[in-house]
Each structure stands twice: as C-alpha cells, then as structure tokens.
Amino acid sequence: MKQAIHVRGLTKRYGDVQAVAGLDLDIEQGEVFAILGPNGAGKSTTVEILEGYRSRDSGEVSVLGADPARPTREWRSRIGIVLQTANDAAELTVRETVRHFARYYPSPRDADEVIAQVGLTESAGKRVRQLSGGQRRRVDVALGLVGRPELLFLDEPTTGFDPEARRQFWDLIENLAHDGTTIVLTTHYLEEAETLADRVAVVARGQVVALGDPATLGGRATAKARVAWSEGTVETDTPTATVAELGRRYGGEVPGLSVTRPTLEDVYLRLIEHPS
Ligand code: ADP
C-alpha cells in the first residue's frame, strides 16, 4: 500500500507553548485513521499543518507525495477538508451551495449525487440556514466531498449530533471508506473512533503516545478480564475457567454475571495520564 501521509519529528511552538513536540505519523492510502487526545494535545495544529494551512517549525511532512508547506492548486484539489465551523453561505440552498463549491475543482462530483450521499436529497432546495445543526454538518461534509478528494480530513465531525444522526453519519463515512477515500478524523468520541477507524493514534503533549487498532490498543485484547457477579469480582487471564467454576458453585445460572475487558475509554484515560 502507498502512504497517504508521512510525518517524522514534527514540531510547532507558539511562544512558550510547545504545541507539537516531535510527532511521527504514517497513514496508508485507503485507511480510516482517527486522532484522539485531550484538548490542547496538538491535534488541530498537526492536522492544519497536514492540510497546508499552518507552517511548521521543523520535521519532515509528506501528504499525497507533496510537502504541504508548499501547496499547489492541483494538490489542494485532491484533498477534502471538513472544518468544525459550519459553512456561512446560509442564504443559498443546499444545492446552490454544493454547486458553487464544485466549481473550484477540476473534476467535481455531481452535486445531486453528493447531496444524496450525505442524505440531504429531500432538503436540497432548502436554504442552509433553515437546516438543523446535524443537517448543516452534512452540508459541510458534502462540500468536503464534492471535489472528489483522495484524502478527506474531518475535524470533530459529529460534535453536537444526536445519537441517531451520529449513526447515520458513521454509515456515510463507512461508505466513503469503502470507495477507497483515505479519511483522517479527529474526535472526542471514543465510540466513534472504535466504530470507524482502522487505526487510532492517541496524541498527548504534542506526541503520539499510542498507536494501533482500537480493538487492541494499549493491550486491550490481552488485558485481564474482569468476571463480576452479584457476590464478587475476579480479575483473571482465564475467565472461561472462572465462569465454569462459578457455574458449578451455583449449580446453574450465576446471578448477575458479566465478563468484561478494559474499554477503549479505560485504555485512553490511562494513556493520557501516564504516557509511556
Ligand atoms: P488540540 O487540537 O489537541 O486541542 P491544539 O493544536 O489546538 O490542540 O493546541 C495545542 C496547544 O497550542 C494548546 O496549548 C493551544 O492553546 C496552543 N495553540 C494552538 N493554536 C495556537 C495559536 N494560534 N496561538 C497560540 N497558541 C496556540
């Protein structure tokens, strides 16, 4: 597989604040990659450097084979960006807005096709300002997609969504990933990262402190299981044996039985407190 993004030793300082402190990152083409981390970790700064909207102090950066510090129009047209701030052309209709943005790209997608893809067909003739927050976010995504990007950056795409809108949005991202678009998203929602991402990077204090498949990050898959029932709790490497033993002890159903491994949130909170 070819690399979409390659970063080595990236640094960025604002006055006294070392926002990015020697960050390394490799993202493959076609991957859905999530960047997690607490506020102030350096996520936005890093992503803005990758997008070509912020300068770096030092380090090696390649995005779709080019240095984003010297962005060309051709390079920009291969990248889609969905920012946190909603679009401001609110007096236009959804269709007008998408058509307008399509003109900036050499081979845009058909506006109505993109509108359908983000689930806004029925609202295509409405003014953007008449839409709900979640629908506006879909317009933002449509604008990120209309240029047919190879690489799509999504900055906290579902902040403010209700659970149903979030699930629909996840379906949309999965469809895009299926079509081969490389997707880099920052999110505060661990469930979102776990659902969507092939790999996640946890960023803290300007560095990647953990990287991997969300299912196994930080030793999740091999961590001790916790067997709990109404009268006790055991942490064990052999939960099956423990459950079998409990079954014998109770002569049948064990009251209140559950077997759990650390959640991504457990691992995440440990990582950002004690980065290794
Ligand atoms: P995140 O996206 O993970 O919340 P940021 O990249 O926004 O992190 O910020 C990293 C650090 O850099 C924070 O301490 C933030 O206050 C600081 N910072 C970000 N942008 C600027 C800026 N334009 N000027 C000064 N400090 C900044």
DSSP symbols for 51-114:
HTSS--SEEEEEETTB-TTS--HHHHTTEEEE-SSPPS-TTSBHHHHHHHHHTTSSSPPPHHHH
In this predicted structure, the answer to whether residue 87 has a pLDDT above a threshold of 70 is no
Question: pLDDT digits over 218-250, tens only?
Answer: 787 788 899 999 999 999 999 999 999 999 999
User: Which protein residue's CA is at the shortest distance from atom 15 of ligand 1?
Assistant: 40
Mean pLDDT across the stretch 106-128? 91
Residue 134's pLDDT is 80
Residue 187's pLDDT is 87
In this predicted structure, the answer to whether residue 44 has a pLDDT above a threshold of 70 is yes
Please state, in angstroms and rounded to a whole number, the distance separating the CA atoms of residues 88 and 92. Answer: 9
Please state, in angstroms and rounded to a whole number, the distance separating the CA atoms of residues 28 and 183. Answer: 10
Question: pLDDT digits over 140-161, tens only?
Answer: 889 998 999 999 999 888 877 7
Residue 136's pLDDT is 86
Of the candidates 190, 183, 148, 206, the one whose C-alpha atom is nearest the C-alpha of residue 23 is 206
Residue 124's pLDDT is 95
Residues in the chain: 276
Residue 169's pLDDT is 83
Q: Which atom of ligand 1 is nearest to the CA of 39?
A: 4
In this predicted structure, the answer to whether residue 171 has a pLDDT above a threshold of 60 is yes
Mean pLDDT across the stretch 246-269? 91
Please state, in angstroms and rounded to a whole number, the distance separating the CA atoms of residues 73 and 263. Answer: 43
Say how many Å lie between the CA of residue 40 and the centre of ligand 1: 5
> Burial, 205: exposed, middle or buried (Cβ in 10 Å; 0-12, 13-18, 19+)?
middle
Backbone phi, psi, residue 149, to 5°: -70, 150
CB atoms closer than 10 angstroms to residue 40 = 13
In this predicted structure, the answer to whether residue 74 has a pLDDT above a threshold of 70 is yes
Residues in contact with ligand 1 (CB, 6 Å cut-off): 14, 17, 19, 37, 39-45
Mean pLDDT across the stretch 96-114? 92
Mean pLDDT across the stretch 93-99? 94
Mean pLDDT across the stretch 100-110? 91
Residue 95's pLDDT is 96
Mean pLDDT across the stretch 82-92? 71
| % pLDDT > 70, the chain | 96
Please state, in angstroms and rounded to a whole number, the distance separating the CA atoms of residues 185 and 52. Answer: 16
Which pTM was predicted?
A: 0.85
The SS3 call for residue 26 is: strand
The SS3 call for residue 252 is: coil
Say how many Å lie between the CA of residue 45 and the centre of ligand 1: 6
Mutating to test ligand 1, I would choose from 10, 25, 39, 45 the residue with most ligand atoms within 8 A of its C-beta, which is 45
In this predicted structure, the answer to whether residue 276 has a pLDDT above a threshold of 60 is no
Say how many Å lie between the CA of residue 49 and the centre of ligand 1: 12
- In the DSSP assignment, the letter for residue 163 is H
Contacts for 116 with CB less than 8 Å, ≥ 6 apart = none
Alpha-carbon Rg of the chain, whole angstroms? 22
User: Which protein residue's CA is at the shortest distance from atom 23 of ligand 1?
Assistant: 14
Residue 98's pLDDT is 94
Residue 212's pLDDT is 93
Please state, in angstroms and rounded to a whole number, the distance separating the CA atoms of residues 130 and 91. Answer: 9
Do the Cβ atoms of 3 and 62 come closer than 8 Å? yes
Question: pLDDT digits over 184-226, tens only?
Answer: 999 888 889 999 999 999 999 999 999 999 888 878 778 889 9
Mean pLDDT over each residue of the chain, to the nearest integer: 90
